[in-house]
Structure 1
Amino acid sequence: MPHSTPDQLCLNGLTIGPGERVLTRLVISRLPSGTVIDIPVHVFRALEPGPTVLLMAGMHGDEVNGIETIRRLIRRDLLRPLRGTIIAIPILNIYGFLNFSREVPDGKDVNRSFPGNPRGSLASRVAHRFMREIMPLIDYGIDFHTGGATRANTPQIRCLLHEDAETDALAAAFAAPFTLHAGLRPGSLRETAMQEGRRIIVYETGESMRLDEAGIDLGIAGTLRVLHYLGMAAEAPAPAHPTVVCLRSTWLRARYAGIFRSLVQLGQHVEEGQAYGSVADPYGERSVRLESPVTGYIIGLNHMPVVNQGDALVHVARLDAAPSRADLVVPFEEKPLKRTEEDVNEVDRADDPTPHDDGHGDEVW
C-alpha cells in the first residue's frame, strides 16, 4: 500500500513542504574542464498526503524517448498531484546524454551499478547518489527506456509479473500495448528497488537517438493512468486496446552474416514457421529465408541492414509460460528462397549448435 508522504520532504539539503514545487540539482562530479555536472530533479507536492512516485529517464544517455516523455509531462503542466508527491528526473546519466552514449565516460552502465559506491566508478557514484537522495523518498516508480542503437522496441512495460501484487497493479494501470515479464538483473535499479521495498516498472519504446512520437504519447497516457490509479490524478485517457501480457520472450539471431531484410513490423503477430526476414550476401549469390520457430509478437526489431553472425534480429514475445521445443533446437530454419529475377539462393544448413544468451529472454541459437 502507498506510504504517506511526510509533511516535510528533505532532498539535497532542501526542505520541501506540502503544496510546493521545487527544482533542485544533485551535483555528481565535474568534467575535466572543471564544469560541474549535476542532475536536475523536479519535485511536485500536493497538500494532501499520499504516495511518492518517481518518473525517471535517461539512465542511458542515448535513450531520448523517455527524456522527451517526462519533458512534455512537465511542460504541459500535467504533474500536479491531487495527493502525495511526484519526483521527476528527465535525465539521470548527464554524461551519456552529452556524449550521445548509453554509458558514462568510463564505459560502465549505470543500470548495472546499483546500489553504488561513493568511492567507486563514475557510474557507481551516480547510482550511490540516487540511492542516498531519491530512493528513500519513493514508493513507486516508472523508469523510461528505449531500445539500443538500431534496435527498436514496440511500446511495452517490463516488470516482474505474477510475483508481486503491487507491481502487477502498476503494470495493469499503465496499460501499454504489451506487458512483458522480465526478471530482475543484478545491479539494476529494479532489483535494488525491490530489495528496498519499492516497486518500479520499466517502459520501453522506440530506438536510441530517435524520437518515437506514438511511443511518447503512449508513455504520457500510461503515466497519467498510473497516477490516476494511485489517486494522484483526477482523470486519465483510456487505453485504445487491451494489453497483451507475455510471460517470456526469445531473441532470434543471425545464423549468417550479410544483408538483413525484415518482413515483419513491430507489434505484428507471427506464427511458428512464418518467414520474418532474410539474410543475403552482398554479392547477389545467395539469400537465406528466416522462419520463426515460435508463435508470438514482434516486440523488438533490428533496423541495421548489415548484420554479423549472432546479431539479434527480432525479439519475439510469447504467451506460453512453459519451455517449448523451440528452446532446445535451432529457433529458426534457414531455407532457400524461391528463385526470382533478383536472387539466386543456395544455402547450406549450419551445424554449429552453440547457443547465445542475450540476457533478455530465453537462451537462443
Structure 2
Amino acid sequence: MPSDKFVLLGKEIKKGKGAVLELEVAKLHTRNSLKVPVIVERGKKDGPVLLLLGGVHGDESNGVAIVRDIIRKKYHKPNYGTIICIPVFNVFGYLNLSRAFPDGRDLNRIFPGSKRGSLASQFAYTFTKEIAPYVDYVLDFHTGGADRSNYPNIRCNFDEEKEFEMAKAFGAPFMMHSSYIHHSIRETIHKMGKPIILFEGGKSLHLDNEVIQCGVTGALNVMKHLGLQEGEIDIHQPTVFIKKSKWLRAPYSGIFESMIQNGEYVTKKQLIGRVSDPFGEFEKKIYAPFNGHIFGLNTAPNVYKGDAIFHISVTK
C-alpha cells in the first residue's frame, strides 16, 4: 500500500509516529458514544500494513491478551510499514463476557454488514468501510467456544499462496486448511484481495499463558516474514499440516473424562475417553476410530449424546 501519506479514521499518521484512534460503535441510551480503541504505529520506512485483531467474540480472552502483550512488549512498533492493533474488537461482548453483540448476533457471521442493519451489522459495515480498505494483511486471534479448548493452531486457505506462507511463518504446532465461512471477517477480507490468517488457542473466558506466548511469538514471526520487523523467524517445533479434520461426538450422555491430552497423537482403537453415569451403573469407553492428532478437546465434565468432544485430524 502506498505509504507517502497514511490516513486512518481521519487522522494522518506520519512516518515514525503513532496514534490511538477511536472507531465509533454505537450511541448508548445515555447519549454517550461507545468507541473501540485502534492503536496505530508507523515505521520510519515504507512497508505493508498489518492488522492485529483480538476479541471479535467478546468471551475469547486469549486473543485480547495476545494483542495486549504484543503492545506491551513494543512489538507493534515496526521498523518498516504500519501495524494496527485492535485488542478488543467486540467491546459490547467483552464488557458482558459474552460471545455475541447485545442484539444477540454473532459479529463474525454478519460481515460485510449494512449501514441500516442491526447493531452488529452496522458495526461490521463501519469496519469494512473505515479500517479494512487500509490494511494489506490481517492476523485474527480466536479461542474455542464454550467448553471446547483448541490446541494452538493457525487456520488459512492452503490454496492461497500468501496466506499459506504467512501461516507457515507463524509457526504454530498445528496448521489447518479452512475454507471461508459465509459472512465472516475472513471471507470479507479475502474478497477484498487481502491475505488473512486466523489463530485459535485455548477456550473462552480462560487465560492460558502457553497459548498467549504462542500467539505473541507467532505474530512476531509474521511481522518478520512480511518485513515489518527485522530478525530471524523463531519456530520451536515442526508444524503439523491438517487438510481435513473431524469432530468425534459423545456416544452417550453422562460424565465425560478424557484419557488423553490435547495436542496428542492417537492411534486407531486407542482408548481416548469414557462416559459414565453419576450413579455408577454404566461406563462406556471411547476409542479412536483412526490415527490422528487431537487438537480440540471438550473440557466440560458433563456431556449430552452428540456433543463434540474430540477434534481429530484425518490423514486419509
Match status 1:116 vs 2:113 = yes
- The ranges of structure 1 where at least 4 consecutive aligned residues each deviate by more than 3 angstroms after the TM superposition are none
Q: Higher mean Cα deviation, 24-33 or 262-271?
A: 24-33
In structure 1, the partner of 2:263 is: 267
Greater Rg over alpha carbons, structure: 1
C-alpha contact 2:224 2:233 (8 A) present in aligned 1: no
Give the residue type in structure 2 aligned to 1:102: R
C-alpha contact 2:256 2:276 (8 A) present in aligned 1: yes
Secondary structure of residue in 1 paired with 2:237: coil
C-alpha contact 1:5 1:84 (8 A) present in aligned 2: no
In structure 2, the partner of 1:125 is: 122
Counterpart among 166, 187, 196 of residue 183 in structure 2? 187
Match status 1:134 vs 2:131 = yes
C-alpha contact 1:158 1:181 (8 A) present in aligned 2: yes
Match status 1:303 vs 2:272 = no
- Partners of 1:42 and 1:5 in 2: CA distance: 20
- Return the TM-score normalized by structure 2: 0.97
- 1:73-88 aligned at under 5 Å gives the runs 73-88=70-85
In structure 1, the partner of 2:6 is: 9
Give the residue type in structure 1 aligned to 2:20: L
- Return the TM-score normalized by structure 1: 0.85
- Partners of 1:33 and 1:79 in 2: CA distance: 35
Secondary structure of residue in 2 paired with 1:239: coil
Structure 1's unaligned 5+ residue stretches are 321-365
Pairwise CA distance, 1:47: 2.0
Change (3 A) 1:5 1:43: farther
C-alpha contact 2:170 2:222 (8 A) present in aligned 1: yes
Secondary structure of residue in 2 paired with 1:72: helix
Match status 1:54 vs 2:16 = no
CA RMSD of superposed structures (Å): 1.1
Paired-residue identity, %: 42
In structure 1, the partner of 2:313 is: 317
- 1:1-365 aligned at under 5 Å gives the runs 4-161=1-158, 163-236=159-232, 238-320=234-316
Pairwise CA distance, 1:302: 0.6
C-alpha contact 2:59 2:99 (8 A) present in aligned 1: yes
- Partners of 1:121 and 1:165 in 2: CA distance: 35
Give the residue type in structure 2 aligned to 1:142: L
Pairwise CA distance, 1:236: 4.8
In structure 2, the partner of 1:328 is: none
Structure 2's unaligned 5+ residue stretches are none
Change (3 A) 1:294 1:122: farther
- Partners of 2:287 and 2:16 in 1: CA distance: 57
C-alpha contact 1:11 1:134 (8 A) present in aligned 2: yes
- Partners of 1:312 and 1:177 in 2: CA distance: 22
Pairwise CA distance, 1:83: 1.0
Pairwise CA distance, 1:34: 3.4
